[in-house]
Each structure stands twice: as structure tokens, then as C-alpha cells.
Amino acid sequence: MVERRFSQFLQKLPFSGAGHLYEPLERSELEILIGGQCDSKAIEREKTVVALSPKEASKCHKEDLAKAFYVDLQNGLSEFSVSQRRQVHGWNEFVADNTEPVWKKYLDQFKNPLILLLLASALVSVLTKEYEDAVSIAVAVLIVVTVAFIQEYRSEKSLEELTKLVPPECNCIREGKLQHLLARDLVPGDIVSLSIGDRIPADIRLTEVTDLLVDESSFTGEAEPCSKTDSPLAGGGDLTTLSNIVFMGTLVQYGKGQGVVIGTGERSQFGEVFKMMQAEETPKTPLQKSMDKLGKQLTLFSFAIIGLIMLTGWLQGKPLLSMFTIGVSLAVAAIPEGLPIVVTVTLVLGVLRMAKKRVIVKKLPIVETLGCCNVICSDKTGTLTANEMTVTQLVTSDGLHAEVSGVGYNGDGSVRLLPSKEVLTRFSNVSVGRLVEAGCVANNAVIRKNAVMGQPTEGALIALAMKMDLSDIKDSYVRKKEIPFSSEQKWMAAQCSPKNEDQEDIYFMKGALEEVVNSCSTYNHGGIPLPLTPQQRAFYRQQEKEMGTLGLRVLALASGPELGSLTFLGLVGIIDPPRAGVKEAVRLLCQSGVSVKMITGDGLETASAIGRNIGLCNGKLKAMSGAEVENMEQEELADCVGKVSVFFRTSPKHKLKIIKALQECGAIVAMTGDGVNDAVALKSADIGIAMGQTGTDVSKEAANMVLVNDDFSAIMSAVEEGKGIFHNIKNFVRFQLSTSISALSLITLSTVCNLPSPLNAMQILWINIIMDGPPAQSLGVEPVDRDALQQPPRNVKDTILSRALILKTLLSAAVIISGTLFIFWKEIPADKAGTPRATTMTFTCFVFFDLFNALTCRSQTKLIAEIGFLRNRMFLYSVLGSVLGQLAVIYIPPLQKVFQTENLGALDLLLLTGLASSVFIVSELLKLCEKFFCRARKAQTHPDHI
């Protein structure tokens, strides 16, 4: 009846086709229509669901949370809700905004000013019809950009292989069923089930918790797992204090839980860090700035040559156009087109040497940047420390002290009684044995393949038992009952009965000293229980305080038949110890002028203890909290940041502010880290260094360099490499510029003085091959001086063309010009007509000068006798090849025709060799004088050392 009336009503409506008779709707069709109206309402409702911030979600009761996300906490979301929410919130993943295609990365290599200058030179060569020069310059540019691109591309691919992981998965309740899904499928409101070993797939507000411990070290920097609850919190507080929230990327260490997804993708805290990282731009490296400046200097030099030639021609009455053409040609010849090749090859070889030391460098110039790095800021957990909780000290209830060696969960190390250093095993000392036994039995952790499954603190106690050969003691008992640890009671206990003995049950307890000692009525004295006196309690508190000042986490242990009257057994001190080699690395870095600072989320005592252990500022530490950093203005922080060695309780934004303050002071900052909380600072630092094994994907993406084996001491090798690379580049620049200035001056002087050209076109081409070829290239692979690490970091304001380098270059050029002109003047006939002998003598003299000049350019400060002739074998082979090539040009008839040369006598060669060696002798004498004056200056500065 209703359907018929609805049909009649539609037929009366005044719209096109009103004459058509509408048939009544079938019941199934009407249900679809009404269902569609309901669906539209449901769609609108789903679109109103928004992600909650962790602070807001932490205050919500479970019922309010369910209403906010329109979700049944037991059955989860429907597939319809999931699909609608995904349209609004997207996938639970991150998309980099700055992903560039391969072709664009290749074209980016052409942005170097020196490359652009060379391309301009090639264009000028084409316009002046000097096609050979244009082709040679173009080939040089293509080689440079291709090699640089290939190396950076290979580094990125190596990093992809390093970070390639199985797609993260999770357990999610949908439509009343527990489903195994990819983490990217999650949407806000999903119910996620968590268990031991799970990686948290999104930001989650917990609704059910059973003894849940979460490792948040990658997010907060705290080494100790956080105990979680499902109760609403009254106050907001810091993110690290939100005990009912778990964050994306953290790890479930123990227990299980369930909760509602409150933030996915870029709306999670992980995503906030990712967005901050995307907003930060990687700064230009000092080498890139130096090369930019060198490009500008060479451009000015080129214009100066053009202007000088044109002025000279104008004064001599020559056509300005022809003089301009000559000037441009000389300017093009003056530009060292081999420089980018040598710089690139030098950097690539540095990268390859670093790869052998298990360090992946993503950008070529970063290798050299470490040479001028003067501040290294490092995260603590997993970088300076091993992120493996380890027992280092024991204090028994009867006052005995023992030290524990060995790091990690492999059982390596020993327990030694102090002060005798006696090695203890099993129950060779009853007091120590019973203390270790209690720690092993009151324990839920398991160690497999040197890794802990469970709470790291409990893993440290198992490792301690392994060192005393007591790890099997746990099997001697049957656990009947466990009273789990809670943040309120601050202790846990296990009720056990001995397997092989007819004895009463025993309780083993561990926890905070005050709570444990309050449950004790006696203390153990060599196996005999004695009444616990106020003096004994005071002694234990004093011992706990002393251990706490060393940054140790202190646990008290007890055992006995009744919880209220246990026997106190002693204290164990646990810490995440420094990595092997870190202390020595810090010492060497400090000696070479590099300041090391620690930035951590840990508390003051732990951070200061680790800082002292690794030798920061020789143990004289000044610390600053993250809250102090936040309250300071940027200028105020920049004034005092250099004096601080330890920053504690820091967040990602604090780390970024510290890096910026150091950079404002003019420091070149390297930042090492492994966690999500380090990513923003890694990207904003001049050099970001991530850990390859413990590092998160986002930290590796943000970094310029990855330590594959997480070896902090590898940074020393990188610093040494960086210092050596810059020295080699300066050596090459000196050689190339002194050669090009000499060649230009010879041609310019002959042009100005109306003399025949001392060198023909083919001879100049041969000289260019030597200038840009193997002898020059081999200067870029000169091994790093052994004392390079001891030298202070170079000032970033120091240019490649420093005043000292320019003076040395001009001195070498003056000697080469004088000697070559002397031979030319000596050989040229009276009528000033050019002859094959004159050009051959001049040509050979110039080439020999070039080779001796290359020999002395191997080092700017050290004599060749000090660095040795055989250290750089590539240089020796290159020089030998050049000498043989020059002799071939002089003596082989077909080549004589090409180069317009003739045979020279043995005396001629001796004369040329002796004269050409003068540039080597003068340069070596200059180094000797510099050494003498340097020693004299030091003697005046430190007269007591004489």
C-alpha cells in the first residue's frame, strides 16, 4: 500500500517524462534505497573521525575513547569503516616529498660553479673554432659528473640493501576476528593486540595491559623499558611520561596489551619527527663552499687575463677583436679542467677506503667535511653505549664488594672479589653466590643467541649468573607463584620450591632498596642470618647512593620463607656500558681539536656517569637539561652551548636547537644517532652519522653517513680521511696552477715582446696532458700523513687558494718561467727565428720542470725525504711514464714530425735535468725554512720546553 502511494506521488511531479507511468518499487529495491540513505550517514560519520594527540588520548576513559572513534573495543572496526577512514587518513606510511627521479639527480651534478665555468669555456672554444679544446673539456666534465653520480647512486643502493626489512605486520581485531595485517593497513580506531617482540605499528592508547614493558629507546633515548598501564592519566606531562600510550616504532619487551590506534602515518609522533626532518635542508659542505669560491676566483682570474691582453694589444695598436680572441683562448687554457676530475677521484677513493672500514658514505663531499668538523654531538643509547644492560658491581649484605667484567648477554667476563681480585664461581663465596642466585631465580628473562627475550635488566642478572656458572640454578626450583612488578609497589617476587630437596617454599624478591629492605628482618652474613639493625640499613642506603652517583641502576635482592621476614642478600649495580673503543676514540678526537658532546634522553646521573667513563672534557663535565635548552633564547644558547659537554632529558626539538646554536657559533657539527628522536638533528647537522645495525630506517634516511658495524671509533678514520683529502686537493691545485700560469706567462711574454712562440700547439697539448693526466691525478691519491689526525680541524673560512698557497704557486711558477726563458733565450738564434732545436729544448725543459714541480707538490709542509719516494707508487709510475713519453717525443721519428722536435744530446738532457730540479730544490728549501721558523716560534711561546 505504501509503495503504491509513493509511486502515485512521483507520477504527479512536474519534471520531464511526467507522462511515464512509474511502477511500484519492489520491497528489495526499497531496502536498498533506505540502506543507501543510512550508508551516506555512516560515511559522513566516518569522515568526522580524527586522530587524537597522545596527551589528549591519555586523559580519556575507555568509554570516551570508544565513542570518539566509533569503535567497539571488543569487536573492532568493520571493513566498511576501515575503507571510509582510509580515504580520509590514507595509508599508515610515510611518503618523502623530495623523492627525485634519477635523471634529475644526474643533472644536479652540473650545479657546481666550477663545472659551469668549464662548460662556458667549452662554449667559447666552439665559438673560436678550437674544437679539440671544446671536446676535451666536455669529456672531462662528463667524466666528473658521471663518476660523482655513480658513486652517490651506489651508496644509496648500498643503504637500501642495509635497511631492507620485512614489511612490518601487526595483529588487529576487525569484525570480531583477530587478523594478521600489514601495519600500513591500520586506520585510526583500529583495535591492535600487542605481545612480546612486536614492533608497535602506530600510536596506540592502551585499553588492556598485562605486565606490559616497552623499549622506547629509539624514540626517547631511555635505555630502560617503560612499564605501561591502561588507566587514564590526570595531567598531560611530557611524552616520555605518558604510561598509557605506546608509540610507533617502539618494541614490546615483555607482557601483552591491547589498545586503540589514535594516530597513523604522518599524524603519529614518528610522523611528526619525519615531517620535521623533511622541513630541514641539508647544509652545503665546506668543500662545496671552497670549490664554489675557487670557481669564482678562477672566473675573475680569467677576466683579468682577457683585460690585460686587450689593454696590451690596444697600447701596441693591434686589432681589439683579435686580441680579445687571444685573451679568451688563454683564459680557457688557464682554467684547470682536470681539477673537478681530481677532486671527484680523490673523494671516490676516500669513499671506497671508508667502505672497506664498514662505513657507507651517501654524498661524496661529506668525506672531506669530517676534516673540518670540530664538534661531534652523539646520542648515548646504542651509539656511545651498547644498549645492553650489564651488571658491573655487587655489594653483599655483609659488606663484600665485587666487580663484574664483560658486556652484553653472552656470558663473557668474570666476577672478582675486591680487593683480592679473586675470581668467583658458583658458591665459592656464599654471600655472592646467594645474591646471584636470587637474581637468577626471581627472573622472567631468557637469553638466546646472545640476545635477551624479556626485560633487559633481568637479562643482565641472567648474564651475571652465566659468568658465575649459575645460569642453571633456576632449574633447581619449581615456581609456584609470582607477584609481578608494578610501578606502585616497585618490587617483584617469586614463590618457589626446591626440586630435589624436601624443604619449605622460598620467596625470592628483587626491587627498590627501601621496599625490599622493609620486607626483611635479617641479613645474610656468610650464610648465617643475623638481625637487621638500623646501622645495617643506613649502610645499604649509603652504598646505594654511591652506586647511584656512578650512574648505576641499583636493585636490592632478598630471599626467605615468608614475605614479611626475608633475609636481605645485597645490591647489584646495572648500567648500559660504553661501547668498546669509544673511550679511546673520544680521547684521540679531543687531542686533535674535536669537541665531543653527548645529547641523551636519560637523566643527569646516568648521563654524567657515562660522560665521565668515556672521558668527555677529561671528566670535568658541565651538564644542561632539555628544559633549560627550551627556555633559552637561541642567541643565549649559542653563547654557552660550547662549554656544555652533556645534555640530558632532551627531545628531538631540543637536539635541533642545540645543533643550530653550535652552527651559529661557526662550528662544523657532526651528529651521531640511531633512533627516531635523532633523525631531525642528523639531517640538520653538517654531517649526520647513523648506526647501521641498531639504527632505525628514518635515522639512516636522514644521515649522510652510516656506520655499518655501529663502531663509533670508525669516525676517527673518517676524520683522518677528510683531513688528508683536503691536503691532496690543495697539492693538486698548487701543481696545476703553477703549471698553467707558467705556460700562459711564456706565451703572453712572447706575444708582448714580438718573439716567436716558444711552444707550438701540439707541445702545449702534451703539457696539458701532463698537467691534467696521470702525474696530476696521482697527487690526489697521496696517502694521508700519519700525524694528520693530530692536526686541528681546518677553519671553514680557509679557502683552497690561501695566501700561503698562492705565494708558493707564484714562486714555483717564477722558477719555471725563469729557467724555461733562459733555455729559450740561450737556444734562439740572433735573428729571433724559431728553430726545431730551440723549441725542443724549451719544450723538454718545461716538461722536466713540470715533473720536478709535481714531486715537491706531494706535500705542502713535509720534505720528500720525510714522506718517502716509494709511498705513492702511482705517482712513481706516472712520472716514469711521462719521462719515457717525453723521450719518445724527442727521439722517435714519426713523433718528431708531429711535435716538430729533434734529437738532443746526453749533455743537453743533463743540463735540462739539473736546471729543472731547481724548482724542487727551491720548494724543499722553503719547507725547511718554514720548519725552522715554526720551531723557533714554538720555543719562544714555550721557553720552559727548551
Active site residues: 379
645 Cβ neighbours under 8 A, 6+ residues apart? 596, 597, 598, 611, 616, 617, 621, 622, 623
Amino acid making up residue 460: A
- CA dist 514 and 627 (Å) reads 30
Give residue 888's region: left, alpha or beta (phi > 0; psi -120 to 50). Answer: alpha
Residue 311: how many CA atoms within 13 Å on its side-chain side? 6
- CA dist 842 and 735 (Å) reads 19
753 Cβ neighbours under 8 A, 6+ residues apart? none
CB atoms within 10 A of CB 891: 13
Backbone dihedral angles phi then psi of residue 156, each to the nearest 5 degrees: -65, -40
- Quick check: 174 and 82 in contact, CB under 8 A? yes
Amino acid making up residue 237: G
Q: Which grid cell is 459?
A: 637479562
215 Cβ neighbours under 8 A, 6+ residues apart? 225, 226, 250, 251, 252, 253, 456
- With CA atoms as reference, report the closest residue to 385 among 602, 151, 679, 93: 602
- CA dist 740 and 771 (Å) reads 8
Instruction: List the 623-625 sheet strands across, edge first.
Output: 359-361, 705-707, 687-691, 669-673, 375-378, 595-599, 646-648, 623-625
Quick one: how far is CA 272 from the chain centroid? Answer: 20
- With CA atoms as reference, report the closest residue to 374 among 594, 664, 590: 594
Scan for cell 630506517, then name that residue. Answer: 697
- CA dist 639 and 552 (Å) reads 33
DSSP-derived secondary structure letter, 795: P
475 burial (CB, 10 Å; 0-12 / 13-18 / 19+) is: exposed
Burial 525-549 (b: 16+ CB within 10 A, else e): beeebeebeeebbeebeebbeebee
96 burial (CB, 10 Å; 0-12 / 13-18 / 19+) is: exposed
Scan for cell 718528431, then name that residue. Answer: 896
Q: Which grid cell is 813?
A: 711558477
Q: In sequence order, what are the beta bridge partners of 599?
A: 647
Sign of CA dihedral 65, 70, 73, 77: negative
- CA dist 267 and 270 (Å) reads 8
- CA dist 594 and 378 (Å) reads 13
